[in-house]
Amino acid sequence: MKFLSHLFQGQIQRQIWFAFLGLAGLFLLTCFKIYSDLRELGTIADAINELNGVAVSVQYMAHDGNAYLLDHAEHAEEFKEHAIRLRRHWKSFRAHQAAHGGVPDSEKPLFDAIDNTTEKFITASRDLFDAYDARKKHPTGSEKPLQTAWLKADDAGNTIDAAVTSYIDIHLDEISVFKASARNGFIAAVVFLSLGGVFMTYRIGKSISTPVGQLVSAAKAFELGDFNHRADVDSRNELGVVSTAFNAMAKQVQAFNQTLEDRVRSRTRELEESRSRMEAIIQRIMDGIVIFNAKGEIDSCNPAAARVFGVKLDDMSGMTVAALIESDDGAVPPDLKLLAESGDSVEFRYGAGEDSADWIEAAAALLPLADETLLIGVFRDVSGRRRAEDEIRTLNENLEQRVAERTIQLRGANDNLQHALDNLRETQGQLVESEKMASLGGLVAGVAHEINTPLGICVTASSHLNDVSGKLAEKFKQGGMRRSDMESFLKVNDESNAIILTNLQRAANLVRSFKQVAVDQSSEERRRFGLAAYLDEVLISLRPYLKKGNHEVIVECDDSIEVDGYPGALSQIITNLVMNSLTHAYAEGVVGTLRMQAKKMEGDEIRLCYNDDGIGIPEDHIAKVFDPFFTTKRGSGGSGLGLNILYNLVTQKLGGRVKCESEPGEGATFIIKFPAQYMASSSNP
């Protein structure tokens, strides 16, 4: 099946094969007709041969029978054989006729006559043979039976011979007719096949030659550049497919050619624009560019080249390399070809004229073209750079001496700066200590004021008790003391003692708090303390300042929070925050609220958030609040060191960090984060 599909895969192949198969079929039909006629003719010929054999056998038997009569004994056996052969031929003829449809009705009487006569002839021949044998046994006997048998056999043989001759004559006419029919059929087949072949050849040739001609014409037009020409082939066979593919290819080539032409035009335009830009750049570039042809003559150059060499631009055309760069002082000019091959540049002294450069830096490159190789030289005036290098070289000769002098000056300046820095540090330390002492002095004054109140109450209560005791003693001396007087005295005594005890305990607590805070501020002892209780102690020492402006302080701190660190640093930090708010946050007569929130965060870190509701800090001041000596109240008692000390204590003593957040009118917030347990690696205490 694959082989057959390959044979019939094209329409032209199918047309050729169909024509061939048609002619082959016609030829086979003709051959079959001729074969049928010849077969029929052979059948008739076979029948005639069989009958002819019968006739020959009859003739031989007649001859041999006659020989019997003549007493030729040597023919006796031959007579028997002819008799047997006659019977066989007749049986073969009858079998042949039966195999080919039997005997026709028109020939049946003749066939029956031959059949009967043949049987009679065989019977007569047998009788003749028997009579002859009897005569041989009885030579003296009568010959009449022999003669009678011979006459019967001879008569039957003549009848058979006549009938066979008639049958053969009939079928010889049929043979002639069949021969003529076969000959005419063969001639007709040859003629028809010839005409069919010519017609098929013409049709197939026309179906191929015309499209091929169209394709050849289109291909020639295509070869000549006519991409609009198309092959006009109206066919559905392979040539039609080829034509369609050719037209599609031509269309694509036409489109590609149009695109290519557009690209060429666009590229040409771009090249022209690029060339124009390049020419503009070359004309305006500060370096001299000279193009030499293969003869070593100048082909073109830019105005900068004329300026470098001090030659008119028009005079440079046609000059050689040697003529262009030849120097008046006899210096050997550079070899531009060697420079182009090596890719190096070289500087050479020129000085050919007043307007020319003294020193020129030269470089070169080769530009291979289709017909020649151009040499492009680039020349730059480096006279200014060479003069600057000479000046630098001259300056460098005295550089060591100047460096030594400058080093001595710098050392002196550094010593002065170090001395000033030491003085500044000493002054800063004194200011810090002064700030601490001022804070401590304020603490002392505040605590003294706080202690004065409970002590005054104690003095008043004891004075009142003393007066009551004196009066009771006077009554006792006079003997007029009554029970009610004693009860009244005891009541006053109990009340006075309670008042004195309460206020003395209050004073003792104030003294203890003052002592702890004062010791912490004046020492650098590290200890473990409760944060909430310590904040309360610090605020007690600041109460006089807070009462002065009726400010309220709100502390939010869990009593379980403990800190292992330097309480003096924390006391100074809280004091500086409160004093900073009282100094800067509130105007005269304005009552404010100060808040402190302390929380323990993840990682054992304390977050202390302090904020007031004062006037806030301007945005441009926030970045400077921790700078030393920065203050907006310098004329009102501000030193500018409070927040700087706070920053140093947080980062160095507590090992933490501090951040300031504020908006004008919204107050200021200070967020301090430090570890609950001081770590030695955090800072240097």
Please give the pLDDT value at position 118. Answer: 73
Q: Which of 172, 176, 210, 183 minimizes the C-alpha distance to 51?
A: 172
**627 in the same domain as 539:** yes
Please check whether residue 149 is in contact with residue 124, taking contact to mean a CB–CB distance below 8 angstroms.
yes
Q: Any bridge partners for residue 552, and if so which?
A: 593
**173 in the same domain as 132:** yes
> What is the phi/psi pair of residue 601, to 5°?
-100, 180
Mean residue pLDDT of the chain comes to 74
Strands 668-675 and 657-662: antiparallel
Determine, yes or no, domain membership for 576.
yes
Please check whether residue 648 is in contact with residue 628, taking contact to mean a CB–CB distance below 8 angstroms.
no
Please check whether residue 58 is in contact with residue 157, taking contact to mean a CB–CB distance below 8 angstroms.
yes
Instruction: Please report, as a single letter, which amino acid is at residue 492.
Output: V
Q: What does the alpha-carbon distance between residue 23 and residue 36 come to, in Å, rounded to a whole number?
A: 20
Q: Which of 542, 576, 594, 599 minimizes the C-alpha distance to 649?
A: 576
CATH code of the domain containing 116: 1.20.120.1730
> Residue 19 above 60 pLDDT?
yes
Instruction: Please give the radius of gyration of the chain, using alpha carbons only, rounded to the nearest integer.
Output: 76
CA angle 609, 615, 619 (to 5 degrees): 80
Q: What does the alpha-carbon distance between residue 77 and residue 70 come to, in Å, rounded to a whole number?
A: 15
Determine, yes or no, domain membership for 92.
yes
Stretch (H or E) spanning 94: helix 76-99
> What is the phi/psi pair of residue 599, to 5°?
-135, 150
Please check whether residue 380 is in contact with residue 347, taking contact to mean a CB–CB distance below 8 angstroms.
no
Q: Which two tokens stand for residue 389?
A: 């290098």
**577 in the same domain as 665:** yes
Number of Cβ within 10 Å of residue 120's Cβ equals: 17
| More reliable by pLDDT, 389 or 641 | 389
Q: Which of 380, 390, 197, 199 minimizes the C-alpha distance to 287?
A: 380
Q: Which of 653, 652, 658, 662 minimizes the C-alpha distance to 612?
A: 662
Determine, yes or no, domain membership for 539.
yes
**530 in the same domain as 518:** no
Determine, yes or no, domain membership for 83.
yes
Please check whether residue 378 is in contact with residue 364, taking contact to mean a CB–CB distance below 8 angstroms.
yes
Q: Which of 220, 67, 30, 44 minimizes the C-alpha distance to 146?
A: 67
pLDDT digits (tens, 9 = 90+) for 441-474: 655 665 666 666 677 777 777 877 788 788 878 8
Please give the pLDDT value at position 58. Answer: 56
Determine, yes or no, domain membership for 89.
yes
Q: What does the alpha-carbon distance between residue 90 and residue 398 come to, in Å, rounded to a whole number?
A: 157
Q: Grade residue 545 by pLDDT with cuts at 50, 70 and 90.
A: confident
Q: Grade residue 73 by pLDDT with cuts at 50, 70 and 90.
A: very low
Q: Which two tokens stand for residue 502?
A: 């309460």
The domain in which residue 294 lies consists of 285-386
> Residue 41 above 60 pLDDT?
no
**630 in the same domain as 514:** no
Determine, yes or no, domain membership for 267.
no
Contacts of 436 (CB under 8 A, 6+ apart): 521, 522, 572
Stretch (H or E) spanning 288: strand 288-292
Q: How many residues does the chain have?
A: 685
Domain count, the chain: 4
Q: Which two tokens stand for residue 26?
A: 């016609």
> Residue 274 above 70 pLDDT?
yes
Q: What does the alpha-carbon distance between residue 583 and residue 132 come to, in Å, rounded to a whole number?
A: 188
> What is the phi/psi pair of residue 678, to 5°?
-60, 135
Half-sphere exposure of residue 539, counting CA atoms within 13 Å on the CB side? 16
Q: Grade residue 45 by pLDDT with cuts at 50, 70 and 90.
A: low
| More reliable by pLDDT, 242 or 491 | 491
Highest mean pLDDT of the ranges 62-66, 138-142, 372-376, 593-597: 593-597
For the chain, the 3-state helix, strand and coil shares in percent, each to the nearest 5, are 65, 10, 20
Residue appearing with tokens 């830096």: 361
**58 in the same domain as 181:** yes
Q: Grade residue 619 by pLDDT with cuts at 50, 70 and 90.
A: confident
Average pLDDT over residues 476-504: 79
Q: What does the alpha-carbon distance between residue 617 and residue 308 come to, in Å, rounded to a whole number?
A: 66
> Residue 329 above 60 pLDDT?
no
Q: Which of 447, 596, 430 minimizes the C-alpha distance to 517?
A: 447
Average the pLDDT over each of 45-54, 192-201, 360-369, 619-628 and give the range with the smallest value: 45-54
Residue appearing with tokens 């199918």: 14
End-to-end CA distance of the chain: 105
> Residue 191 above 60 pLDDT?
yes
Q: Which two tokens stand for residue 134?
A: 């009897």
**350 in the same domain as 304:** yes
| Sheet containing 359-368: order of strands | 298-301, 288-292, 373-381, 359-368, 345-349
Q: What does the alpha-carbon distance between residue 232 and residue 244 come to, in Å, rounded to a whole number?
A: 9
Average the pLDDT over each of 320-329, 470-479, 576-585, 668-677 and give the range with the smallest value: 320-329
Highest mean pLDDT of the ranges 385-394, 446-455, 577-586: 577-586
**529 in the same domain as 460:** no
Residue appearing with tokens 């006739």: 55
Residue 379: helix, strand or coil by DSSP? strand
Sign of CA dihedral 501, 506, 511, 515: positive
Strand residues in 325-399 grouped as ranges (E): 345-349, 359-368, 373-381
> Residue 304 above 90 pLDDT?
no
Average the pLDDT over each of 77-81, 564-568, 641-645 and give the range with the smallest value: 77-81
Buried b (16+ CB within 10 A) or exposed e, 64-101: bbebbbeeeeebbeebeebbebbbebbebbeeebeeee
**481 in the same domain as 535:** no
Please check whether residue 579 is in contact with residue 538, taking contact to mean a CB–CB distance below 8 angstroms.
no
Please check whether residue 538 is in contact with residue 580, taking contact to mean a CB–CB distance below 8 angstroms.
no
> What is the phi/psi pair of residue 10, to 5°?
-110, 150
Determine, yes or no, domain membership for 278.
no
> Residue 13 above 60 pLDDT?
no
Q: Which two tokens stand for residue 637?
A: 């008692």
| More reliable by pLDDT, 91 or 668 | 668
> Residue 528 above 80 pLDDT?
yes
Q: Which two tokens stand for residue 234?
A: 């109206």
Answer with the one of 165, 193, 221 that is the final residue of a domain. Answer: 193
Q: Which of 521, 512, 559, 560 minimizes the C-alpha distance to 540?
A: 512
pLDDT digits (tens, 9 = 90+) for 553-569: 999 999 999 999 888 88
**646 in the same domain as 608:** yes
> What is the phi/psi pair of residue 229, to 5°?
-75, 140
Q: Grade residue 682 by pLDDT with cuts at 50, 70 and 90.
A: very low
**452 in the same domain as 372:** no
Answer with the one of 151, 177, 193 that is the final residue of a domain. Answer: 193
CATH code of the domain containing 626: 3.30.565.10
Please check whether residue 311 is in contact with residue 326, taking contact to mean a CB–CB distance below 8 angstroms.
no
pLDDT digits (tens, 9 = 90+) for 119-165: 777 777 777 677 767 766 776 666 677 667 667 766 766 776 676 67
CA angle 537, 443, 635 (to 5 degrees): 130
**189 in the same domain as 74:** yes
Please give the pLDDT value at position 378. Answer: 87
> Residue 667 above 60 pLDDT?
yes
Answer with the one of 522, 553, 580 that is the final residue of a domain. Answer: 522
Residue appearing with tokens 């008739």: 44
Determine, yes or no, domain membership for 229.
no
Helix intervals (H) in 585-676: 619-622, 642-648
